[in-house]
Structure 1
Amino acid sequence: MFAPSQNDVRRFFCATHAKHREGSPLTPMEALAADWIAEHPEYHAELADVEAALAAVYDVEAGRTNPFLHLSMHLTITEQVAIDQPRGIKQAYELLAAKRGSAHEAHHEIMECLGEMIWASQRSGLPPDGERYLECVRRRATGLTPAHAAFES
């Protein structure tokens, strides 16, 4: 299993940002990351300073968004949609993107569900619940509650 460290992730995004700015060739994963970095100019200054990025502490209580977590979640969702895993995420994403009129906004809504799933898994000590995650995304895409979804089927 691929399990990069926090510093590995931060170096990856900083290096990708630098390569993209320089016009250097990018790997396929770097190209995906560069697209999401471009969508978030508010992170560019943080990505431009590797040493500061490695030392930064992103404290939720202080109201600081962790750009590396945010961009990692974009990559995760991009990959999930590309391979339709969990099965049905691609359709739910497409519905949500159409509903919001924005793939980027759909990603941000899916991030809420992904974050909830990870938090619940960490809190319970159980594996992540992909079905619950997918149901969360479907609810956002359709506006139906689980009871409504069952009734509509």
Structure 2
Amino acid sequence: MTTMFNPSRDQVRQFFCDTYRKWREGAVLSGAEVPAADIIALHPEYHALLADPDALGREWTPEQGAMNPFLHLSLHLAVAEQLSIDQPRGIRAAYDGLRRRLDDEHDALHRLLECLGEAVWKAQRNGGAMDAEGYLEAIRRSAPGA
């Protein structure tokens, strides 16, 4: 059984494809579709993929050297949620500092994605919870001159 808190890979991919279609058609978006559409708009390089029905079954591996676009969009959505509720506590301030130092909002968001991806990978590797303080510290260190 899947839930909205533990969607399958296919459900996540379908969500982004459906959101892209609705956004492109000017249909009413609701819930998580709203921030997802904003994120999709920032990534025109993914638009053709999101319109392709064959995209749902494609695989991206580290050996191919390309980030899985659905993973990238999912990390963006997770970071947007973290920033909106300031969880882990202090992420909004860490992000604001990073954004000011980089003077580029999208680059700052991508640095957060990298830090989140690494934090999740470490938690999975260690079989434990994500180290929130380590994640925040990685964000703080990712700025030039940090």
* Number of aligned residues: 143
Which structure 2 residue ranges, 5 or more long, are not aligned?
none
Q: Is the 8 A contact 2:16 2:36 kept in 1?
A: yes
Q: Structure 1 residue aligned with 2:27, among 24, 38, 61? A: 24
The list of structure 1 runs, each at least 4 consecutive aligned residues, that deviate by more than 4 angstroms after superposition, is none
TM-score by length of 2: 0.92
Separation in 2, partners of 1:79, 1:103: 16
Q: Is the 8 A contact 1:92 1:141 kept in 2?
A: no
Percentage identity across paired residues of the two chains: 52
> CA-to-partner distance for each residue in 1:39-74, whole Å, 9 max, x for gaps?
111111110023x12210011101232111001111
Per the TM alignment, residue 20 of structure 1 is displaced from its structure 2 partner at its CA by 0.6
Which structure 1 residue ranges, 5 or more long, are not aligned?
145-153
Q: Which residue of 2 aligns with 1:148?
A: none
Alignment RMSD, CA only?
Answer: 1.4
Separation in 1, partners of 2:132, 2:92: 14
TM-score by length of 1: 0.88
Q: Structure 1 residue aligned with 2:118, among 101, 109, 116? A: 116
Q: Which residue of 1 aligns with 2:43?
A: 40
Separation in 1, partners of 2:74, 2:138: 20
Q: Structure 1 residue aligned with 2:104, among 99, 102, 105? A: 102
SS in 1 for 2:29: coil
Separation in 1, partners of 2:46, 2:26: 19
1:5 aligns with 2:5: no
Per the TM alignment, residue 141 of structure 1 is displaced from its structure 2 partner at its CA by 3.9
Equivalent residue letter for 1:113: C
Q: Is the 8 A contact 1:95 1:142 kept in 2?
A: no
Separation in 1, partners of 2:38, 2:77: 10
Separation in 2, partners of 1:3, 1:49: 24
Separation in 2, partners of 1:64, 1:106: 20
SS in 1 for 2:66: coil
